[in-house]
Amino acid sequence: MSKQPESVLETQLIEKLQKVGYQYVPISNETELIANLKSQLEKHNNTTFSKTEFDRILNILNKGNVFEKAKTLRERQHIVRDNGDNVYFEFIKTDFWCQNLFQVTNQVS
The 3-state DSSP class for residue 48 equals coil
pLDDT of residue 37: 97
Q: For residues 10 and 16, what is the distance between their CA atoms, to the nearest angstrom?
A: 10
- As a whole number of Å, the CA-based R_g of the chain is 16
What is the chain's pLDDT, residue by residue, as a tens digit (109 residues)? 678 889 999 999 999 999 999 999 999 999 999 999 999 999 999 999 999 999 999 999 999 999 999 999 999 999 999 999 999 999 999 888 888 999 999 998 7
Q: For residues 11 and 91, what is the distance between their CA atoms, to the nearest angstrom?
A: 27
- What's the pTM? 0.87
pLDDT of residue 1: 64
Instruction: Assess contact for 103 and 23: CB atoms under 8 A.
Output: yes
Write down all domains in the chain, each with its CATH number in brackets.
Answer: 6-104 (3.90.640.50)
pLDDT of residue 95: 87
Locate all alpha helices (DSSP H) within the chain, ordered by sequence: 6-19, 30-45, 51-61, 66-74
